[in-house]
């Protein structure tokens, strides 16, 4: 590893309540393919054509986030948007701290942020996520970036690839995608690439209208209720979304339904009443806690 300064000039952002490690480990789109070093607390990825190296120095409840790359202003904007640095975590924590369960999780994973990712990138990631596990999702998404991503370079020439746009993936064949490990999801990806390139503009969807946004996203092949919730939350930043996967279902039944089996619809209804406009944040803490406590490496 060369010196960080070889990657380009630095821009620094000061925030409270930020943990790069907890954010990376909580399995969100960027973290499926970005290169993270726990030792350095550092993330490498390219966003919107800009190669970035992000380091976070965290102490006493605050953090200095530094990005090294070639466009300081763009990088600062990227950091604020991607990691939701404008969120006042104190007030969000206060709003969702409805019981000792959530309080404990906030204490354990304080600083874990939701991320806001490119809508198309998020769509691909969560189509791949279905009937799959996080380790394999990381492998498959990384394979797609390596195979179809645009080749870019840091200031010192170090190579990095960006997430491929939908038009690029319309050129992919079923066999090529299956070779990357996508399995039965390959046809969803092919249909989604075509649809998102020619039939729907993901960048003009009503991101603040939760019901309408989900309805439009579910027009995409391979996108159902749960994946649409993930895209709404992590692709559009709609915090009302409460993705209910197997982990959330289990932990919600255990903590809030007296161990009884309930349907996702009941969980959604509960979450909306209980956590309201910040339900999505509660979900991410519940999800990460459930996975971490099971010590599942998958």
Partner DNA sequence: ACCCAGGCGGGCG
Partner DNA sequence: CGCCCGCATGGG
Token code pair at residue 278: 């910040």
Contact between 181 and DNA per CB under 7 A = yes
Applying CB under 7 A, the site for DNA has a residue count of 43
Among 178, 207, 272, 277, indicate the residue that binds DNA (CB under 7 A): 178
Contact between 126 and DNA per CB under 7 A = yes
Instruction: Transcribe 131-172 into DSSP letters.
Output: T--HHHHHHHHHHHHHHHSPEEE-TT--EEEPPPPHHHHTT-
The C-alpha atoms of residue 254 and residue 268 are separated, in whole angstroms, by 15
Q: Of 236, 191, 234, 243, whose CA–CA distance to 212 is shortest?
A: 236
Contact between 232 and DNA per CB under 7 A = no
Contact between 122 and DNA per CB under 7 A = no
Q: Minimum distance between the CB of residue 155 and DNA, rounded to whole angstroms? A: 32
The C-alpha atoms of residue 229 and residue 223 are separated, in whole angstroms, by 9
Stretch that binds DNA, among 13-21, 72-80, 201-209, 214-222 (CB under 7 A): 214-222
Among 155, 165, 194, 225, indicate the residue that binds DNA (CB under 7 A): 225
The C-alpha atoms of residue 52 and residue 236 are separated, in whole angstroms, by 22
* CB contact set of 15 (below 8 Å; sequence gap of 6+): 62, 63, 65, 85
Identify residues 80-99 at the interface with DNA (CB under 7 A): none
Q: Closer to DNA by CB, 129 or 166: give it.
A: 129
Q: Which residue has the tokens 């509660």?
A: 282
Q: Are 145 and 162 in contact (CB under 8 A)?
A: yes
Q: Closer to DNA by CB, 115 or 162: give it.
A: 115
Among 20, 27, 75, 202, indicate the residue that binds DNA (CB under 7 A): 27
The C-alpha atoms of residue 289 and residue 298 are separated, in whole angstroms, by 15
Token code pair at residue 236: 């559009």
- Other C-beta atoms closer than 10 Å to the C-beta of 188 total 21
Among 11, 18, 23, 26, indicate the residue that binds DNA (CB under 7 A): 26
For DNA, what does the binding mask look like between residues 239 and 258, x meaning CB under 7 A? Answer: ----x-xxxx----------
Helix ranges restricted to H, 12-59:
20-25, 29-33
Q: Minimum distance between the CB of residue 178 and DNA, rounded to whole angstroms? A: 5
Q: Closer to DNA by CB, 42 or 112: give it.
A: 112
Q: Minimum distance between the CB of residue 4 and DNA, rounded to whole angstroms? A: 28
Identify residues 130-149 at the interface with DNA (CB under 7 A): 130-137
Residues near DNA (CB under 7 A) are 26-28, 126, 129-137, 178, 181, 183-184, 188, 218, 220-228, 230, 234, 243, 245-248, 263, 283-284, 287, 291, 296-298
């Amino acid at each position: 590893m060369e010196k960080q300064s070889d990657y380009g000039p630095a821009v620094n952002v000061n925030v409270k309540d930020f943990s790069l490690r907890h954010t990376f480990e909580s399995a969100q789109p960027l973290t499926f393919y970005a290169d993270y070093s726990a030792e350095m607390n550092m993330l490498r990825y390219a966003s919107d054509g800009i190669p970035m190296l992000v380091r976070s120095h965290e102490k006493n409840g605050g953090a200095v986030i530094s990005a090294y790359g070639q466009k300081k202003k763009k990088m600062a904007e990227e950091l604020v948007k991607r990691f939701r640095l404008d969120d006042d975590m104190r007030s969000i924590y206060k709003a969702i701290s409805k019981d000792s369960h959530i309080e404990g999780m906030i204490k354990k994973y304080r600083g874990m942020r939701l991320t806001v990712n490119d809508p198309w990138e998020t769509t691909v990631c969560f189509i791949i996520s279905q009937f799959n596990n996080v380790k394999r999702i990381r492998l498959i998404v990384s394979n797609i970036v390596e195979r179809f991503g645009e080749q870019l370079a840091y200031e010192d020439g170090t190579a990095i690839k960006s997430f491929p746009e939908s038009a690029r993936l319309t050129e992919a064949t079923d066999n090529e995608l299956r070779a990357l490990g996508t399995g039965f999801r390959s046809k969803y990806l092919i249909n989604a690439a075509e649809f998102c390139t020619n039939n729907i503009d993901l960048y003009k969807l009503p991101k603040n209208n939760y019901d309408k946004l989900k309805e439009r996203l579910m027009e995409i092949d391979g996108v159902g209720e749960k994946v649409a919730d993930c895209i709404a939350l992590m692709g559009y930043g709609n915090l009302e979304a409460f993705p209910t996967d197997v982990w959330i279902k289990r932990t919600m039944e255990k903590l809030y339904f007296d161990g009884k089996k309930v349907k996702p619809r009941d969980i959604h209804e509960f979450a909306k009443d209980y956590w309201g406009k910040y339900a999505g944040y509660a979900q991410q803490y519940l999800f990460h806690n459930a996975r971490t406590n099971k010590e599942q490496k998958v």
